[in-house]
């Protein structure tokens, strides 16, 4: 197997990002504000905003930094968080989410970004963009805070599909490797396979089979396989990419979010207990701000749909302008590295161990 270079080629024009302006909990004003913040920081990106023109035009007009860099694509329908993915696939053609994905499908934009319904976004992305050859199940990859020098590990899958067999886990490893290399500049990522223990005899049959497949693919694919890892290693420095099925991955990230909230609330309560603790909080203010910024989920907002003929970034539904801007930043970086093409080449280079489902 010949290793394919993952280095980006020279760019000659602005990166065009397709944005579902109506997705998310806080409305289009926040999405437009996120685009505005992103435009101020990066002069090399422009936007197609999808949603009702009468709603978006006055919002964009208030942002002079978007002048000449933002096209509004009228789409009157809105996918809500309560909509069933199957209904959206059948009846969602006039929605802002559908329109945003179509721009990527038609090669008009490089990446689609949405804060909307995750299930509907994945379903539409699979139907409209189609899966890459060799991919049975796409995956959602997120950045998880870690003690590694880069500050984050790639964790996938976190909920695209609750099932995954050995071949799927191999594909996740290859996709995670490409994401870590192109999105985080890690030349030779270390990949770990999540299990209930690090011993090779532990775990379900498909995990043992995946262990062999990933180990055998490591040298040709350009990554280091560190073997089985445990839950505590998700935020550790043993691996750069943690591979697991969507059921386990989704529980892992939501457990992490809940634990972070618990600790944050506990600290706030502790610093309010007495006048001395309040004084201590003032003395520790700078350090606390640094830690808060370090683990601020808004600054690493964005799950990437991997395994499709096009790149889609899912922003958190409750994201504010900072979170939306972070998702756009991630989308632009992946587009600039020609991530989809390199991912397709990497996955296609792997020898299938079973027939891929259509």
CATH classification at residue 357: 3.40.50.10950
Q: Same domain, yes or no, for 315 and 264?
A: no
What pTM, to 2 d.p., does this model score? 0.80
Location of structure tokens 């090669």: 107
pLDDT tens column, 108-154: 998 999 999 989 999 999 999 998 887 888 899 998 888 898 888 99
* The pLDDT of residue 1 is above 50: no
Is residue 224 a contact partner of residue 135, using CB atoms and an 8 Å limit? no
Domain of 354, in residue numbers: 1-135+307-358
Question: How many domains are there within the chain?
Answer: 2
Domain boundary among 282, 299, 316: 299
pLDDT at site 300:
61
pLDDT at site 11:
42
DSSP 77-89: B---TTS-HHHHH
Q: Same domain, yes or no, for 210 and 335?
A: no
Lowest mean pLDDT among 126-140, 251-265, 309-323, 334-348: 334-348
* The pLDDT of residue 264 is above 50: yes
Q: Same domain, yes or no, for 250 and 177?
A: yes
Q: Same domain, yes or no, for 314 and 242?
A: no
Q: Same domain, yes or no, for 172 and 292?
A: yes
* The pLDDT of residue 271 is above 90: no
Q: Same domain, yes or no, for 322 and 276?
A: no
Domain boundary among 249, 265, 299: 299
Q: In Å, how far are 7, 84, 294, 334 from 305, measured between CA atoms?
A: 20, 19, 24, 12
pLDDT at site 318:
81
Average pLDDT of 54-73?
A: 94
Q: What average pLDDT does the chain have?
A: 85
As a whole-number percent, the residues of the chain with pLDDT over 70 amount to 89
User: What whole-number distance in Å separates Cα of residue 275 and Cα of residue 253?
Assistant: 36
Residue 10: Cβ-neighbour burial (10 angstroms; 0-12, 13-18, 19+): exposed
Non-local CB neighbours of 312 within 8 Å, separated by 6+ positions:
101, 104, 111, 112, 113, 114, 121, 125, 129, 304, 305
Domain boundary among 252, 279, 299: 299
Q: Same domain, yes or no, for 69 and 50?
A: yes
pLDDT at site 261:
77
Is residue 220 a contact partner of residue 173, using CB atoms and an 8 Å limit? no
| pLDDT top residue among 151 and 226 | 226
Q: Same domain, yes or no, for 221 and 348?
A: no
pLDDT at site 79:
94
């Amino acid at each position: 197997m010949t290793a394919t270079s993952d280095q980006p080629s020279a760019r000659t024009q602005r990166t065009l990002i397709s944005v579902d302006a109506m997705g998310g909990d806080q409305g289009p004003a926040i999405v437009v504000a996120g685009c505005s913040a992103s435009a101020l920081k990066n002069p090399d990106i422009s936007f197609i905003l999808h949603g009702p023109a009468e709603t978006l035009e006055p919002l964009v007009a208030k942002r002079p930094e978007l002048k000449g860099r933002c096209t509004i694509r009228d789409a009157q329908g809105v996918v809500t968080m309560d909509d069933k993915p199957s209904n959206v696939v059948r009846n969602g053609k006039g929605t802002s989410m559908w329109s945003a994905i179509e721009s990527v499908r038609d090669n008009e934009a490089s990446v689609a970004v949405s804060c909307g319904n995750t299930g509907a976004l994945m379903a539409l992305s699979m139907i409209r963009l189609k899966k890459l050859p060799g991919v049975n199940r796409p995956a959602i990859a997120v950045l998880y805070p870690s003690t590694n020098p880069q500050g984050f590990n790639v964790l996938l899958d976190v909920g695209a599909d609750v099932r995954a067999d050995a071949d799927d886990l191999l594909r996740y490893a290859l996709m995670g490797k490409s994401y870590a290399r192109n999105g985080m500049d890690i030349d030779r990522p270390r990949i770990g396979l999540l299990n209930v223990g690090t011993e090779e005899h532990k775990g379900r049959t498909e995990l043992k089979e995946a262990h062999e497949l990933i180990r055998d693919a490591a040298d040709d694919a350009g990554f280091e396989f560190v073997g089985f890892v445990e839950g505590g290693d998700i935020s550790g420095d043993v691996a750069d990419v943690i591979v697991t099925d969507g059921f386990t991955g989704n529980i892992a990230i939501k457990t992490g979010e809940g634990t972070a909230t618990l600790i944050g609330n506990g600290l706030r309560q502790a610093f309010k207990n007495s006048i001395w603790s309040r004084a201590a909080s003032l003395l520790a203010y700078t350090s606390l701000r640094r830690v808060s910024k370090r683990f601020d989920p808004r600054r690493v907002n964005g799950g990437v749909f991997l395994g499709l003929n096009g790149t889609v970034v899912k922003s958190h539904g409750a994201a504010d302008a900072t979170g939306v801007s972070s998702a756009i930043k991630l989308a632009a970086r992946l587009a600039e590295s020609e991530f989809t093409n390199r991912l397709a080449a990497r996955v296609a280079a792997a020898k299938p161990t079973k027939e891929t489902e259509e």
